[in-house]
Amino acid sequence: MLELIVNAPRWLMLGALIYAPWAYGTTLPWTVNVLNVLLGVILVLWIVGCLARSSWPMIPSVPKYAALCLCLQAWWMVLNAQSDYDTNTFTFISLSPFLKSAPGTLHRALSLPAALSATLLLGTGCFCCDLARRPIWKKRLLVTIALTGVSIVMLGLAERLSGADGILWGAANQGETFFATFRYHANAGSYLNLVWPVIAGLLFAAFKKEEERRVKIFWGAALVISLAGVFVNASRAANLIALALMAVWGAWVWLQMKRESSHRAIHPAYIVVAVLVLVMIVAGVAAFGGLDTSLRRWGKFDEELTSRNPRLLVAQICMRMIPSAGLLGFGPATFQTAFPYYTKELGQEISGVWLYAHDDYLQTLVEWGWAGSFFWAIYVLGGVAFSILTVLRYRHQISSTDRIAWFAIVSAVAGLLIHASMDFPLQVPSIELYLAALLGVLWSCRSWIAKPDLLKRLEKRTLPSSRLAAVR
């Protein structure tokens, strides 16, 4: 019974990772609500499991306190709301805050669900920090992310192959901005670039551990399909980021091969797989007929190289909004409310409704202010920096498999963070959930350190699985 209680939130977490991208990328209100309920159940069961075991969860202090500060800020802004917003009359409704002189959100109706989602997401990230300390569950997290990503790519390629004019079970005539379950191709591209490095890590780990041939073939095919999906997708930013990540991966593989060649011959499978991947990616892109859409978008690139590009204008407006946002910002999810009041002098140059700034960093500064942005940076960038320092310092006490997983996750997160400077992937709950899970693995990297004498035995796979789990 105790084992069931303890493992229930862990299995539910894997279910959440499967659900989030398949539910339209969790971009519709009802899909967000379902995800929130699922994450809430996970956190409650996690607390119950900890009480049942009479043990505290193992969460590093930095992400724990950064998450706590962010939650406190979000809920303070909601509870001390200065105003709400009437979307029918487009006017602000004054409220009675606890402290009129203190900051509070300017749109309570938007900030309340945003604060709830942020709290659940940060709590789930802390849960993943604790979960990823267990090797078997760390592997299950990564495998679930990889398999779900492959399934999403296969759906997207099927849509392109069949000439679908929308998500297969969605409304027709959705234009060229959809891919797989994502209604916006840039979000799909961000998701794919977050997933395929994890698949690449599993592939190289399979070669490193000399697993069965069918395992290598499976992950090799999954990598090829995933990369083909990235280039069939019409997002130009995702295409460029994928090319950059592939170059980084190529350099890293070459360095690993060069290092190993000093004490053993380079396995020819590495070279064969690398060549096949490149050839099959090009063949896959042509076969699935996605080049026409991508090329049409690339053909418009020179038309957008102007100082009056709407996205550049939005960025300039955000820079004017940031001083007014102050230390704690306008409040979570309030960008769409505050933005129109700073665009009057631009007239029709900025048309339509801008829900996002298409630059997550500027939007974070507007909504969360300098204090909130600082804690978000500590939580996200701190996880990457902490893992880099740990791996460099304890390199010889960390197994090669864990080093491969580390490089895969860091490259995936780096690609996402780059894309966040030109789009809004960090406003998409499914991508946020995957980022939280991967950051949980990075923050738990101290658990990878093994004693030097045992590490050699682990590399040779001489320890029984029960004792291996105890050591790692």
pLDDT digits 0-9 by tens, 48-97? 998 888 888 889 999 999 999 999 999 999 999 999 998 888 888 988 88
| Distance in angstroms (rounded) separating the CA atoms of residues 254 and 158 | 34
Digit-coded pLDDT (tens) for 271-283: 566 566 666 665 5
80 or 224: whose pLDDT is higher?
Answer: 80
Q: Is the pTM of this model over 0.75?
A: yes
Q: Are residues 101 and 192 in the same domain?
A: yes
CA nearest to 364, candidates 337, 341, 331: 331
Q: How many residues does the chain have?
A: 472
Residue 467 has pLDDT above 70, yes or no: no
CB burial string 216-254: b at 16+ within 10 A, e below: bebbbebbbbbbbbbbbbbbbbbbebbeebbebbeebbe
In a domain, 345, yes or no: no
- Mean pLDDT calculated for residue range 212-230: 88
Q: Are residues 71 and 35 in the same domain?
A: no
Digit-coded pLDDT (tens) for 96-115: 888 888 999 999 999 999 99
Digit-coded pLDDT (tens) for 228-270: 888 888 788 898 999 899 989 988 888 877 776 544 444 556 5
- Mean pLDDT calculated for residue range 356-372: 95
pLDDT of residue 306: 58
| Distance in angstroms (rounded) separating the CA atoms of residues 84 and 248 | 47
Digit-coded pLDDT (tens) for 171-207: 655 666 788 899 888 999 999 999 999 999 999 999 8
Q: Are residues 194 and 49 in the same domain?
A: no
Q: Are residues 64 and 11 in the same domain?
A: no
In a domain, 374, yes or no: yes
Q: Which of 18, 40, 56 is the last residue of a domain?
A: 56
pLDDT of residue 263: 47
Q: Which of 9, 29, 56 is the last residue of a domain?
A: 56
Token pair belonging to 232: 């069939």
- Mean pLDDT calculated for residue range 332-345: 90
What is the span of the domain harbouring residue 13? 1-56
Q: Are residues 240 and 375 in the same domain?
A: yes
How many domains, the chain? 2
pLDDT of residue 463: 41
- Mean pLDDT calculated for residue range 118-128: 97
Q: Are residues 36 and 170 in the same domain?
A: no
pLDDT of residue 54: 82
